[in-house]
């Protein structure tokens, strides 16, 4: 069955609805909007690095995944770059319909180069890569999650959302870890001496240069640095990274996956319930890969984060 032709505005509304809907968000949620925009910029930069082999192995399929996620989050440069890949069959099967839509979307957001390229891809058809639509109806926007948190802890939630993109971590995953660890309690102390919002044990705090573990900002930075390391070590596998955060990466290595500890299994289940996907973009420069292979490999469609 042929797809109906969609307008550029309709494609933008559907394909990046999570971002566009925030135009009417309350002023208090501006930090969330900014965080997602910064995360989109980070993904686009990582995609470019993988496309051209700049500091990382050249991997066109991975570049396409990252470009598509950044485009879905509203980054015009990523829309253009992914369109160029489709227009030239660069690591993807050539598709002028997809290219035309992506160029039109980028042009709609003010990208002049995309407007010029649209002349070479034929009549606009509205055909759209499926990765722009993945699961968006199933997940509440992060600002809704923040709004549901008790008011006295929303400052901590917004601090996490603001800082996460600096470490290449999607705000949803960072918030899921913090909620599961401490319910955003800066003074939390576990029986195993895990401290603060991100529940850093003394060894982890020292490893990531956290000198004041009960200072929320310093604690959050240390936890995000550790999570970035875990995502790189487990090559973007969210379940393994979460299990490593809870039980230590050594336990995941020993068991070849999520350890059979009831606490860790429940922990990982809660993280996946909040994040939904098993794969997350990662900075391969943060850590050498460990021995445990990801449960799934990144495809050209890519995960919804």
Cα separation, 238 vs 67, whole angstroms: 20
Cα separation, 231 vs 106, whole angstroms: 30
The token pair that represents 74 in the structure block = 């509203």
Nearest to residue 48, comparing CAs of 68, 67, 69, 72?
67
Distinct helix (H) and strand (E) counts, the chain: 15, 0
Dmax over CA atoms of the chain, in Å, equals 64
Cα separation, 299 vs 302, whole angstroms: 5
Active-site amino acid positions? 181
Cα separation, 58 vs 50, whole angstroms: 5
CB contact at 8 A, 37 and 273: no
Cα separation, 36 vs 278, whole angstroms: 19
């Amino acid at each position: 069955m042929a797809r109906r032709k969609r307008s550029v505005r309709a494609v933008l509304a559907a394909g990046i609805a999570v971002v566009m809907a925030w135009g009417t968000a309350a002023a208090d949620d501006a930090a969330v909007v900014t965080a997602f925009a910064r995360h989109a910029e980070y993904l686009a930069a990582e995609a470019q690095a993988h496309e051209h082999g700049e500091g990382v192995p050249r991997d066109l399929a991975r570049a396409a995944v990252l470009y598509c996620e950044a485009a879905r989050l509203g980054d015009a440069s990523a829309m253009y770059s992914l369109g160029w890949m489709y227009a030239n069959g660069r690591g993807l099967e050539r598709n002028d319909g997809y290219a035309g839509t992506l160029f039109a979307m980028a042009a709609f957001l003010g990208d002049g180069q995309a407007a010029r390229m649209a002349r070479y891809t034929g009549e606009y058809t509205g055909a759209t890569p499926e990765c722009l639509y993945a699961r968006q109806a199933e997940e509440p926007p992060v600002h809704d999650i923040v709004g549901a948190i008790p008011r006295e802890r929303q400052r901590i939630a917004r601090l996490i959302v603001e800082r996460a993109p600096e470490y290449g971590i999607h705000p949803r995953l960072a918030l899921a870890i913090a909620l599961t660890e401490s319910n955003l309690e800066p003074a939390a102390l576990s029986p195993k001496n895990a401290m603060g919002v991100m529940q850093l044990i003394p060894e982890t705090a020292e490893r990531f240069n956290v000198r004041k573990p009960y200072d929320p900002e310093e604690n959050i930075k240390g936890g995000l640095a550790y999570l970035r390391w875990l995502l790189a070590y487990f090559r973007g596998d969210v379940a393994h990274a979460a299990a490593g955060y809870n039980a230590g990466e050594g336990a995941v290595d020993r068991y070849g996956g999520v350890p059979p500890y009831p606490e860790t299994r429940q922990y990982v289940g809660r993280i996946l319930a909040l994040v939904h996907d098993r794969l997350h973009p990662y900075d391969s420069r943060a850590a050498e890969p460990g021995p445990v292979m990801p449960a799934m490999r990144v495809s050209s469609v890519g995960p919804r984060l």
